[in-house]
Amino acid sequence: MLPEPDPATCAALADDLRGVGFTSENLRAAWGESADDATGRELRAPALRALGDRTDPLAVLGRLFALGAHQPTADVAAALPRCGVEGLERLGLATAHGETVHPAAVLRPQSFADDTGEGEWWIASDLDEMARGGTLPEDHVLGVGGASRTLAALQVPTPAARVLDLGTGCGIQALRARRFADTVVATDISEGAVRFTRLNALLNGVEGIETRVGNLFDPVAGERFDRVVSNPPFVITPRAAGVPAYEYRDGGLVGDALVEAVVTGVGEVLEPGGVAQFLGNWETRDGVDGLERVRDWVAASPVPLDAWVVEREQLDPLAYAELWIRDGGTVPTGDRFARLLDAWLDDFDARGVTAVGFGSVLLRRAVGRPTLSRYERVGTALGARAIGGHIAGALEAHDRIAGLGDADLAACVLRTAPDVTEARHHMPGAEDPMVIELRQGGGYGRALSVDPGLAALVGACDGDLAVGVLIGAIAQLLEVDAASLQEDLLPRVRELIVTGFLAVVD
C-alpha cells in the first residue's frame, strides 16, 4: 500500500515536475499524436518507440511515470534534482533496484477546463494494465478514466461551503470540487484510495481536502453538505465464485443495489437546496424500464428530492458483460472469458434483466415540495467539454419559471440562446419545409424537430417583446386562433427555457 505522503517530499517532486515541463501537451509532443492516442488504448509500445534512446528529463519521466517503464537510476536522479530517487521511494511511487528504478505507481498530467478557466493536475494512481502488462489486482486504485472525466465535466461550478466526494478513488473529483468549495471531505472504503487522494492534493498544492475511510455514508453520519459528488463503484458484478470484485468499480451488492443505496441515502446528508451529482448503472428488469426504477428510488428517499436523471447509453446484457470483463484485462479468448461471461449472463437472467442503462443523476434536497422531475435519454456525445455551467443554468431557469402560471409566462420577455441554430429540410421543389430542426451548440447538444409556430417564436425571441405578444403576431401570420396557439406553445416554451434554447430576460 502507498505510504503516508510526506508534504515536503511532495513539494520537492512538484518543483521537479514543473521544472521538467511534465505536462500532457509536452508529452504528446514528445511521442506524437498517434502514439499518445494509443496510450488511451493501453498500448505503450508506440510511445516508447517514438522516444527512442532519448535521456532528457521529460523522456525519462515520461517513460517512468506515464508509461510505467523501468529507467536507469542515474537518469531518474538527474531528472529529479530536488526529490531524488530516495524521495520517490518515500512516496511509494518507485523503487530502486541497483542501477534501475522500477515504477510502483503511475503519475500522469491531467488537463481540465471549467467555467473559471483551464489548468492541469498531476494524478498518481496504481499501476494500470499498460504499466503492469497484465490484469489488475482487486484492490487497484484507478486513475482518471472516461467516467471520471464525464463526472468532472458535469460538476456544477457554483460556490459551496462543504462538498462530499463519496468514493473518491484517486481524488480527481475532490480536486475538481475544491475549485468551487471551501472544504471537501473525500471518503472511500479503500485506505489506498484515500492515501492517493492525499498525495495528489499535496502534489498539486491543494489544501482543504479532508479524507476519511468508510463505506457509503458511514464516515459522514450526522453531517450535511452543500454538494455531493460521486463516481461510485456502480458496475453490476455477479456475486459468484471466480468473478473478481474490483474495489474501484464493484460495490459488493447485487445488481444495481449500490446505486439505489446512494439515491435513497444521499438526501439525508444534503443541506436543504443542496445538490448531489453522480454516475450510475440501472437495470431494466422484469419489464420495468430502468429509468422508472430510478424514479421509484427517488420516491423512496426519506427526504423530498428534486431529480434530473439523464441516461446516456443502454447496453444489452451480453454487451455489458463483455465490456466489463475486458475492462478487467481478460481477452475474449479461452476458458476464463467464457466462464466469466456465463457468470454475468446467469446473474442477469436470475433477475430478468434485459438492458442496463448508464448515465448521470442529479438530486437536490427540496425546500418544500419537489418541483423538478426529469427522467430522459440524451444520446449526444459530450466529449471532454464541461457542461456544469449549463446544468447550473438549467436548474436556475427551472426554479425561475416553476411557479409561473401561463399568464405570467406569456408576459415574460425571452431571448434565443446564441448557440441555437435552425435547419430546414425540403423535398426537392417544395416551398414548405418537411422538417424544421433546432440545434443546440452547447449544453447537451440537443436537436429538436419543431413545427412552424414554435420555430417562428424561437426566431422572434430577441429580448424585445413579451411571449404572448409574439404568439399573437404569429397566430395572425399562420391564420390560426391565438388562444389555441398559446395553449399549444407555452408548455414547449417552458421546456426550451429549462433546456437552454431560450432565456428569460430580466
SS (H, E, C) 80-122: CCCCHHHHHHHHCCEEEECCEEEECEEEEEEEEEECCEEEEEE
**Which residue intervals of 316-441 are DSSP H helices?**
317-327, 334-351, 388-402, 406-410
Query: Residue 42's pLDDT is what?
Result: 85
Residue 211 vs residues 6, 108, 120, 187, 201: alpha-carbon distances, Å: 15, 22, 22, 6, 11
Q: What is the CATH number of domain 138-398?
A: 3.40.50.150
Q: Is the pLDDT of residue 384 over 70?
A: no
* Separation of alpha carbons 255 and 232, rounded Å: 14
β-bridge pairing 105-114 and 71-72: unpaired
This prediction's pTM: 0.93
Least confident span in 423-427, 465-469, 502-506:
423-427
On whether the 401-504 domain is CATH 2.30.30, my answer is no
Least confident span in 28-32, 116-120, 316-320:
116-120
Label each residue of 291-349 as H, E or C.
HHHHHHHHHCCCCCEEEEEEEEEEECHHHHHHHHHHHCCCCCCHHHHHHHHHHHHHHHH
- Give the count of alpha carbons within 13 A of 211, CB side only: 28
Q: pLDDT class for 124, splitting at 50, 70, 90?
A: very high
Q: CATH 3.90.930 in the chain, residues?
A: 401-504
- Closest among 196, 198, 225, 194 to 212, alpha carbons compared: 194
Residue 306 vs residues 229, 295, 337, 369: alpha-carbon distances, Å: 16, 11, 42, 9
Mean pLDDT of 151-173: 95
pLDDT in tens, 106-123: 999 999 888 788 889 999
Q: Is the pLDDT of residue 383 over 70?
A: no
Strand order of the β-sheet with 413-416 is 462-466, 413-416, 502-504
CB 437 within 8 A of CB 423: yes
Mean pLDDT of the residues in the chain: 93
Mean pLDDT of 405-416: 96
> Which grid coordinates belong to 260?
439505489
Mean pLDDT of 497-505: 96
Q: CATH 3.40.50.150 in the chain, residues?
A: 138-398
Q: Is the pLDDT of residue 36 over 70?
A: yes
Share of the chain above pLDDT 90, in %: 82
* Separation of alpha carbons 108 and 131, rounded Å: 12
pLDDT in tens, 203-217: 999 999 999 999 999
DSSP single-letter state for residue 220 = G
pLDDT in tens, 259-302: 999 999 999 999 999 999 999 999 999 999 999 999 999 999 99
Which string of b and e fits 74-88 if b means at least 16 CB within 10 Å? Answer: ebbbebbeebbbebb
Query: Residue 244's pLDDT is what?
Result: 87
Query: Residue 266's pLDDT is what?
Result: 97
Q: Is the pLDDT of residue 378 over 80?
A: yes
- 448-452's contacts with Cβ under 8 Å and 24+ in sequence apart are 448/501, 450/492, 452/478
For the chain, count helices (H), then strands (E): 20, 19
Q: Is the dihedral of CA 250, 253, 256, 260 positive or negative?
A: negative
pLDDT in tens, 147-157: 888 999 999 99
Q: pLDDT class for 18, splitting at 50, 70, 90?
A: very high
